[in-house]
Chain A
Amino acid sequence: MALVEINNLHKSFGSNHVLRGIDFSVEQGEVVCVIGPSGSGKSTLLRCVNLLEVPQEGQVIVRGEDITDPDCHLDAARASIGMVFQQFNLFPHLSVLTNCAVAQTTVLKRKPEEAEKIARANLDRVGLTDKVHAFPAQLSGGQQQRVAIARALSMDPALMLFDEPTSALDPELVGDVLTVMRKLALEGMTMLVVTHEMAFARDVADRVVFMDGGVIVEQGPPAEVIGNPQEERTKLFLKRVLDPTHVQDN
């Protein structure tokens, strides 16, 4: 059974029909990168997986549980789905350590000592052992994003969602975050990543999904989707992304 299964997903914001019938699944241990032009609905799709956006139609089944069902214990389901945001969204009033511990103690009801131990272990994993007592504002963007990853990992999630995790970073800080994500992938974490980092998608993803206009246009192994795209829209997008200086000749 797939870890995430999405059936016929539709989402509109007012008259803007953002997702137009998405069928899609993620297997246990799989790393899936979602690429596509801005406005293609890829972030909305990701945000539907933990129901930060509520779809108008369709099902989102995570670990056999339909989270679009009103009877679903959504908070419990969310606790097992880690999410990393483009803008980090660390809690500015809490220290790095507390950022990673607060949901453990309040949601998972772990003892404070246990939560702290787990938080420290995960901060160690992202290479920020020396920053446990710092506050988010004292950290660089790359460090903040790695804390955000540690915060999500501290909940022992079955699945990690990454919503353009490096798009808000200065170029020289992108590498640190991608290195952490690469390590996670190697450790077997199930990951769904919305990204513009084509090199990351090519090297790390098991599968690449190309979205445009609210539908999945093409998907498959990175060598096929990025290396040898079949659809015209995919080709055009990749040409623009891989060679931004290319001037389109009409």
Chain B
Amino acid sequence: MTSPADTVVRKGLSPRKRAQRSRLIQYAILIALVLFALFSANWGQIGSVFFKPEFIKATFQDGVLQALVKTVEYTAGAFVIGLAGGTLLALMRLSSVGPYRWIATAYIEFFRGLPAIVVFIAFSLLPLAFEGMTIPFDPYGVVWLALGIVASAYMAEVIRAGIQAVPKGQIEAARSLGMSPGLALRKIVLPQAFRIVLAPLTNDLILLVKDSSLVFIIGVAATGYELTGFGRDLANTYSNLTPIVVCGFCYLIITLPLGILVRRLEARAEKSR
């Protein structure tokens, strides 16, 4: 008896052998590239431009840690505003009142579609356009507002998805116990929705950490410099890239643990499913 598989041509290497050979070739290419880089690069120059020890030391002495703290402060405040605004927008998008839905949709589409830098430029020009206008908590107020406005648009969609992911039976159970819609939302739906979106919200927080670098557009005083502004200023002063590299690593100090946290949260969510 012949099966259709018997007619398949069997010549040359078996698929497994072929895969093995392909892997070997890939390793060989990689090793060749690394060796080429090792021998062709001018390591002395690279070291002195990017990793000069005296400039690393100077960067710390000039206050890279204060800049790190500023980055965290700008981000944290914007996250709070984004979270509050995002929740409000999410609820508006799910409202039974049409105009609320339209307003929220328009807001979200507008600020999601806009580069964050445009919002920052607009905020930097506000005092020029409206003479004498001040935003409280200078310079924090402007930064938190500009970052928070953009962040709330992103977070609104995440939170909306979270609210909609709470099973309908939960609302029915809450309502059948006599809870009003608002009470059911506060006690039953939102706590579960935030649990669901914890991982994606942390992702938004990482994006926000990086977006805080746009603060230098607004033109804050040197005491208000966050990591990027600080690094750029110092790199200009020394005509050397080392301060920027140090600042770059400082971002990783914030974002890498957050990234690990996201993966943990995702793993936990996967398990409880």
Residues of A within 8 A of B (CB): 50, 52, 75-83, 85, 87, 89-93, 102-103, 106-108, 137, 148, 151-152, 155
Contact = CB atoms under 8 A, between A and B. Distances in A.
B192 interface: yes
B192 A79 contact: no
A81 B187 contact: no
Give the 4 A-B CB pairs with smallest separation, nearest first: A79-B178, A103-B177, A89-B173, A83-B176
Nearest to A87: B169
A89 B170 contact: yes
Given A85-B172, A85-B173, A102-B187, A93 B178 contact: no
B57 interface: no
Interface in B172-186: 172-180, 183
A89 B169 contact: yes
Contacts of A91: 170, 173-174, 188, 192
Contacts of B195: 93
14 contacts: A52-B172, A75-B178, A75-B179, A78-B175, A78-B176, A89-B172, A91-B174, A91-B188, A91-B192, A93-B191, A103-B179, A107-B177, A152-B176, A155-B177
A83 B176 CA distance: 6
Residues of B in contact with A, size category: 10 to 19
A81 B183 CA distance: 18
Contacts of A75: 175, 178-180
Contacts of B178: 75-80, 103, 107-108, 155
Nearest to B177: A103
B96 interface: no
A28 B174 CA distance: 25
A223 to B, nearest CB: 32
A89 B171 CA distance: 9
Interface of B: 167, 169-170, 172-180, 183, 187-188, 191-192, 195, 272
A200 to B, nearest CB: 22
A78 B174 CA distance: 10
B176 A50 contact: yes
Contacts of A81: 176
B269 to A, nearest CB: 12
A241 B187 CA distance: 41
Nearest to B186: A106
Given A91-B188, A93-B192, A93-B195, A107 B179 contact: yes
Contacts of A90: 173
B187 A106 contact: yes
A146 B179 CA distance: 21
Contacts of B170: 89, 91
B176 A52 contact: yes
Contacts of A148: 173
A107 B172 contact: no
A78 B177 CA distance: 6
Given A79-B178, A93-B191, A93-B195, A107 B173 contact: no
B166 to A, nearest CB: 10
A137 B273 CA distance: 10
A91 B179 CA distance: 13
B171 to A, nearest CB: 9
B178 to A, nearest CB: 3
A138 B191 CA distance: 19
Contacts of B179: 75, 103, 106-107
A77 B37 CA distance: 77
Contacts of B192: 91-93
A107 B174 CA distance: 10
Nearest to A92: B192
A80 B177 CA distance: 8
A50 B180 CA distance: 14
Contacts of B272: 137
Nearest to A98: B187
Contacts of B172: 52, 85, 89
A148 B169 CA distance: 13
A106 B183 contact: yes
A149 B178 CA distance: 15
Contacts of A137: 272
Contacts of B169: 85, 87, 89
Contacts of A87: 169
A79 B184 CA distance: 13
A166 to B, nearest CB: 17
B198 to A, nearest CB: 12
Nearest to B188: A91
